Structure 1
């Protein structure tokens, strides 16, 4: 494993605290101190996403101290992860792609899960690609969609895709993992075969299958709801 730079080490530190909070949540421990630690975790992720390593390190250290205090008091039980494993995770590049037209909780869950696997590269579909696949004009133009996704804290890098060959951007980014969304119409085996043909067979292809239960966790449903509301008016 290559030597980790300071940003990667802080990233791994953040992931360690995030893992501890997941363990605490599974144990059913809920109190104000846990919520404060969770808030510091969110702050740290945000600061690191903006390149502010100093405040990212400070806030995650506060969160770690609170969790250690809970463990010493016997209020919460958890184990810290091995640093090398977390650094390896922080060095992973996770490729996600989508239209990301109207951001909803399903998108956030997808990107949050991608973040747990490594550093996230989000590829935004071009306007022409959306028209071809969805048979409708795009509502939010590609540059605006790119700007929004670029500012989501779980995303390390966002970029536009290509109009001709969707694998071209994969060849350029060389991710370790491709994470498919639950509704994306790709067959995992066919995708792996195409990657092998392009000498990218070492990329792991996985699917995020956790559906978010909310009434408008779909751009299509959001647009339909807006249309119905205006038609009623």
Structure 2
């Protein structure tokens, strides 16, 4: 992770902390701890401006710990430091495009991924995924930018969103979802969610989609009738 990304994350972290502090009312005996958390947050912003990223992150994490301790003891206010970001998709044949998408989503908070069921993916793409839903789920769980992943609802996509109650729904550039319709449907279910779409697919690699990978495999290893090609005189593949 380069300094620019660390700075971006620290800035979002501090912003979330400031928003959280603004929402806290009178907590009686815990007010001194709240004030201490506020001071650490201000220090974090100061060190961020000075370019001391390590000290900035240490300060804001300490501030978060103070408020989380109060929250645990009083149950009076909900953590808003790290926003929940919902992502949905098939995630078949993981490639750099998937990683960039999840990396971009993680800039906004903790990423929760709803992995599409096999039957739903087949309906959407016109073919069954290469890897079944349980394999795809385990692979997604192992990606560093993912906070948690689960299998989506097979009947109702919005139930997966309801399960997480995210602050943000993050869409890929190619996902066929109308942002305004989605926001309206979620609002009808009591969820006021921000919808953000990644502007464009990052195409700095040859294989930035599962379909490209499949076509490349067919081109290399199958003839026009779909039969396996010989790759050398011994017939080894």
Is the Cα–Cα contact under 8 Å of residues 105 and 217 in structure 1 kept in the other structure?
A: yes
Question: Which of 208, 213, 217 in structure 1 is aligned with 2:208?
Answer: 217
Q: TM-score with structure 2 length normalisation?
A: 0.63
Is the Cα–Cα contact under 8 Å of residues 216 and 222 in structure 1 kept in the other structure?
A: yes
The CA deviation string for residues 12-43 of structure 1, in whole angstroms up to 9 with x for no partner, is xx9998433899xxxxxxxxxxxxxxxxxxxx
- The 4+ residue runs of structure 1 with deviation greater than 6 A are 14-17
User: Alpha carbons of 1:146 and 1:98: their partners in 2 closer, same or farther (altered >3 Å)?
Assistant: same
- 1:155 and 2:146 are equivalent in the alignment: yes
1:195 to partner: Cα distance? 1.0
1:77-88 correspondence runs (5 A): 78=51, 80=53, 83=60
Q: How many residues get paired? A: 167
1:56-75 correspondence runs (5 A): none
Match of 1:187 in 2: 178
Is the Cα–Cα contact under 8 Å of residues 102 and 219 in structure 1 kept in the other structure?
A: yes
- 1:164 and 2:155 are equivalent in the alignment: yes
- 1:206 and 2:196 are equivalent in the alignment: yes
User: Alpha carbons of 1:16 and 1:90: their partners in 2 closer, same or farther (altered >3 Å)?
Assistant: farther
1:210 to partner: Cα distance? 4.0
1:137 to partner: Cα distance? 1.8
Is the Cα–Cα contact under 8 Å of residues 94 and 120 in structure 1 kept in the other structure?
A: yes
Match of 2:130 in 1: 139
1:76-155 correspondence runs (5 A): 78=51, 80=53, 83=60, 90-155=81-146
Distance in 2 (CA, whole Å) between partners of 1:170 and 1:127 is: 18
User: Alpha carbons of 1:90 and 1:221: their partners in 2 closer, same or farther (altered >3 Å)?
Assistant: farther
Bigger drift between 105-114 and 207-216 goes to 207-216
Q: Unaligned stretches of 5+ in structure 1? A: 1-13, 24-67, 69-76
Is the Cα–Cα contact under 8 Å of residues 9 and 107 in structure 2 kept in the other structure?
A: no
1:115 to partner: Cα distance? 1.3
Q: TM-score with structure 1 length normalisation?
A: 0.64
Q: Secondary structure of 1:91's partner?
A: coil
Distance in 2 (CA, whole Å) between partners of 1:210 and 1:185 is: 13
Distance in 2 (CA, whole Å) between partners of 1:79 and 1:211 is: 33
Distance in 1 (CA, whole Å) between partners of 2:138 and 2:160 is: 18
C-alpha RMSD of matched pairs (Å) = 3.0
